[in-house]
């Protein structure tokens, strides 16, 4: 369901972030992507929702070649994806509820059902009844849980998260990892990057390891 076939990504300016990366992630897997800073993790994740396009090679998502997807088809691709990337910050001038509602507003979801889904998503991440609060009034761990609720409110089949525990205390990080695990147990395919080797260790996840743009483990 996620297939990378000999994927390379060279940024304008000539920097090669990924070189000939190939792997396959099947439906329902939980996969941890690790590697040092600058190894290409964010780049790899951004190729999946077509935020970046590969310079060479093929990226297939649910059988669809997203490396050659026309721009107008990208919103449809993203409907099936839950995204928690570096650039997906919470809007600090909107309530928790409005933040989680955002993806449903963008896809033109009927408002009544959207409100129910938002409530369910907040409940799911342990923030039931906290919708009226503002993001900056929450702890770092709670803010990340809002971001998770926003990522899953569309009920995506694939959840992708880039360093979701980067700035969190270990106890909060474990809570976030447990949430990802629970979505995975409910059938969601999860791909999460981290440089914390201990995260998910108890679940013995499949690991993909990147080093300087090359996949050195897990293919
Ligand atoms: P990681 O997420 O593992 O830290 P990245 O994918 O962010 O790695 O970056 C891989 C390499 O690509 C780094 O050397 C980075 O500087 C470079 N890079 C990332 N984004 C861009 C960009 N938009 N333009 C040019 N170079 C970039
Ligand atoms: P189902 O329809 O059986 O609940 P889905 O395929 O729609 O299953 O979603 C898979 C799982 O993802 C759900 O069982 C639930 O654990 C979680 N999930 C995704 N989106 C939501 C949401 N908006 N509210 C609550 N749980 C959600």
Model confidence over 70-104: pLDDT tens digits?
A: 999 998 899 899 999 988 899 999 999 999 999 99
Share of the chain above pLDDT 90, in %: 83
Pick the residue whose CA is nearest to atom 15 on ligand 1: 38
Our mutation pick for probing the ligand 1 site, out of 4, 17, 18, counting the most ligand atoms within 8 A of Cβ, is: 17
Q: Where are the domains of the chain?
A: 26-53+70-217
Q: How far is CA 59 from CA 26, 75, 191, in A?
A: 14, 17, 15
Query: Please, which contacts does 126-134 make with residues 24 or more away whose CB atoms are closer than 8 Å?
Result: 126/175, 127/96, 130/96, 131/95, 131/96, 131/97, 131/100, 132/95, 132/96, 132/97, 133/95, 133/96, 134/92, 134/94, 134/95, 134/96
What digits encode the pLDDT tens for the residues 141-182?
Answer: 999 999 999 999 999 999 999 999 988 888 889 999 999 999
ipTM of the complex: 0.72
Q: Is the CB of 210 under 6 A from ligand 2?
A: no
pLDDT at 71: 92
Q: Which ligand is nearest to the CA of 27?
A: 2
CA–CA separation, 41 and 33 (whole Å): 7
Query: pTM of the entire structure?
Result: 0.89
Task: Report the atom number in ligand 2 closest to the C-alpha of 120.
Answer: 24
What digits encode the pLDDT tens for the residues 28-44?
Answer: 999 999 999 999 999 99
Please give the CATH architecture assigned to the domain spanning 26-53+70-217: 3-Layer(aba) Sandwich (3.40)
Q: Is the CB of 87 under 6 A from ligand 1?
A: no
pLDDT at 201 over 90: no
- Whether the Cβ atoms of residue 209 and residue 217 lie closer than 8 Å to each other: yes
pLDDT at 117 over 90: yes
Q: Is the CB of 97 under 6 A from ligand 2?
A: no
pLDDT at 196: 83
Q: Is the CB of 120 under 6 A from ligand 2?
A: yes
């Amino acid at each position: 369901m996620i297939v990378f076939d000999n994927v390379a990504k060279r940024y304008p300016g000539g920097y090669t972030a990924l070189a000939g990366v190939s792997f396959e992630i099947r439906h329902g897997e939980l996969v941890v992507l690790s590697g040092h800073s600058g190894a290409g993790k964010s780049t790899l994740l951004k190729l999946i929702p077509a935020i970046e396009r590969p310079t060479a090679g093929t990226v297939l998502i649910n059988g669809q070649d997203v490396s050659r997807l026309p721009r107008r088809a990208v919103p449809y691709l993203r409907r099936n994806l839950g995204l928690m990337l570096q650039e997906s910050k919470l809007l600090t001038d909107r309530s928790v509820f409005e933040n989680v509602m955002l993806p449903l507003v963008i896809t033109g979801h009927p408002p009544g059902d959207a409100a129910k889904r938002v409530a369910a998503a907040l409940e799911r991440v342990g923030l039931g009844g906290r919708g009226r609060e503002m993001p900056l009034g929450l702890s770092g761990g709670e803010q990340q849980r809002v971001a998770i609720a926003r990522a899953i409110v569309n009920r995506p089949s694939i959840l992708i998260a880039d360093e979701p525990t980067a700035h969190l205390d270990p106890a909060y990080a474990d809570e976030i990892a447990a949430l990802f695990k629970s979505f995975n147990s409910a059938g969601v395919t999860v791909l999460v990057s981290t440089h914390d080797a201990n995260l998910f260790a108890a679940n013995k996840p499949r690991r993909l390891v990147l080093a300087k743009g090359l996949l050195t483990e897990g293919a």
